[in-house]
């Protein structure tokens, strides 16, 4: 019997598997896709941040996640690219509140003028608001690169990784405790613990044990655009967000464009993509009229209350949930914390508010 089955090889599942193997667990990773991090992890804007993420417990978790990315990056893990964020907003009151809260909670944040040297070359400074906030300690994450590296390291430590493996049932013994999983198409894997790290598919996996997890999936459009020389900061405005994507490109997204995808289905992507490029071109004129090198529509699976769902489910001994929509910020940290809890039995303080059992009360009228 293997000790732990990890369902999903996105950034969270990959990190959990790697850290469990480092802790000495026997691990099997089961991923329905043909490679790691091909679903939500591959279709993410992937900004690592804690800014604007109240309440305090969720901010603290994300702030620790950002520090973890800096730590593993310094130790040689690939994928994390430190990069400051420049942020401006239409609502000055909300910006004031977020800035004051960040400073009070120890998060590096400063105001800069639109014409300050911190604003990258190529930005149309007239497109910025009079007040711009600079967040110097943030960055973006190449999630497929990081997840692939973690899966490879888990294999080197003895984990078995199976792609194209879809979990059909979670098996329990006479006492109701997890004893393994059954796979679609036949076969089973015995295990004492099953970690649900299935991302957008996590609600379906939770349903296999009657778990209360509720996700609110929302679509998101991403376009990668060529930009010679790239950009050396993430740019987050009310109409569009832009981040580096290699030395000669950027990745762009927009809440306004994503709202169009959430409407009646069937609209071709040509119009939303043009809208996205036009919005990006107002901030970076060098993007006007460009053709995307890649377009993706991903599904962001938000837990119903906005927080992560991480921990054992009391009603089903051995079933553990590791689900978040903040995988870029939290994936590396959650892997370590989850492995600590499973291997030691002690609950990390940072995870205390995020038990899966809280969704029972949310579902009760």
Question: What's the pLDDT at 261?
Answer: 86
Residues of the chain with CATH 3.30.9.10: 84-137+216-303
Mean pLDDT score of the chain, rounded to an integer? 94
Reported for 155-161, long-range contacts at CB under 8 A and 24+ positions apart, including other chains, are 157/18, 157/21, 157/22, 158/21, 158/26, 158/27, 159/17, 159/18, 159/20, 159/21, 159/26, 159/27, 159/28, 159/29, 160/2, 160/27, 160/28, 160/29, 161/9, 161/17, 161/28, 161/29, 161/31
Cα dihedral sign for 312, 313, 315, 317?
negative
Phi, psi dihedrals of residue 332, rounded to the nearest 5° = -65, -45
CATH class of 84-137+216-303: alpha beta
Mean pLDDT of 310-320: 98
- The mean pLDDT of 211-221, rounded to a whole number, is 91
Q: What is the pLDDT of residues 110-144, one digit of tens each?
A: 999 999 999 999 999 999 999 999 999 999 999 99
51-106 pLDDT tens trace: 999 999 999 999 999 999 999 999 999 999 999 999 999 888 989 999 999 999 99
- Residue 177, φ and ψ in degrees, nearest 5: -90, 150
Q: Provide CATH 3.50.50.60 ranges for the chain.
A: 2-44+143-213+305-363
Q: Cis omega (within 30 of 0) on the bond before 349? A: no
3-state helix, strand, coil in the chain (%, to 5): 35, 25, 40
Cα gap 159→105, rounded to integer Å: 39
* Radius of gyration for the alpha carbons in the chain, expressed in angstroms and rounded: 21
pLDDT reported for residue 39? 81
First vs last C-alpha separation in the chain: 41
Across 178-194, average pLDDT: 97
Res 157: pLDDT: 97
Q: Please state, in angstroms and rounded to a whole number, the distance separating the CA atoms of residues 148 and 318.
A: 26
Query: For position 364, what pLDDT does the model report?
Result: 46
Q: Is the pTM of this model over 0.85?
A: yes
pLDDT at 361 exceeding the cut of 90: no
Please write the tens of the pLDDT for every residue from 22-56. Answer: 999 999 999 999 999 988 777 789 999 999 999 99
* 2-44+143-213+305-363: CATH superfamily: FAD/NAD(P)-binding domain (3.50.50.60)
Sign of the alpha-carbon dihedral angle for 300, 305, 309, 315? negative
């Amino acid at each position: 019997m293997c000790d732990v089955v990890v369902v999903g090889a996105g950034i969270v599942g990959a990190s959990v598997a790697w850290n469990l193997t480092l802790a000495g667990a026997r691990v099997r990773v089961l991923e329905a896709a043909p490679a790691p991090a091909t679903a939500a992890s591959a279709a993410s804007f992937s900004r690592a941040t804690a800014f604007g993420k109240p309440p305090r417990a969720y901010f603290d978790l994300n702030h620790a996640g950002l520090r973890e990315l800096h730590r593993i990056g310094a130790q040689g893990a690939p994928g994390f690219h430190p990069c400051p964020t420049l942020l401006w907003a239409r609502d000055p009151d909300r910006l004031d509140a977020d800035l004051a809260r960040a400073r009070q909670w120890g998060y590096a944040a400063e105001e800069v003028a639109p014409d300050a040297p911190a604003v990258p070359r190529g930005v149309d400074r007239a497109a910025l608001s009079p007040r711009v906030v600079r967040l110097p300690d943030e960055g973006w994450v190449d999630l497929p690169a990081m997840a692939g590296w973690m899966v490879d390291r888990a294999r080197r430590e003895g984990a078995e990784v199976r792609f194209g493996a879809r979990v059909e049932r979670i098996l329990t013994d006479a006492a109701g405790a997890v004893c393994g999983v059954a796979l679609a198409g036949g076969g089973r894997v015995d295990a004492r613990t099953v970690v649900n790290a299935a991302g957008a598919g996590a609600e379906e996996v939770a349903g296999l044990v009657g778990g209360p997890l509720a996700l609110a999936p929302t679509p998101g459009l991403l376009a990668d655009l060529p930009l010679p020389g790239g950009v050396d900061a993430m740019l987050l405005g009310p109409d569009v967000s832009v981040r580096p994507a290699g030395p000669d490109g950027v990745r762009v997204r927009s809440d306004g464009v994503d709202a169009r995808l959430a409407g009646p289905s069937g609209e071709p992507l040509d119009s939303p993509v043009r809208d996205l490029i036009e919005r990006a071109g107002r901030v970076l004129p060098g993007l006007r009229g460009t053709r995307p090198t890649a377009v993706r529509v991903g599904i962001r699976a938000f837990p119903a209350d906005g927080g992560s769902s991480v921990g054992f489910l009391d009603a089903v001994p051995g079933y553990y949930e590791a689900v978040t929509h903040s995988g870029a910020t939290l994936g590396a940290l959650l892997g370590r914390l989850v492995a600590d809890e499973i291997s030691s039995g002690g609950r990390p303080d940072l995870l205390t508010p995020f038990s899966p059992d809280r969704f029972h009360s949310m579902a009760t009228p």
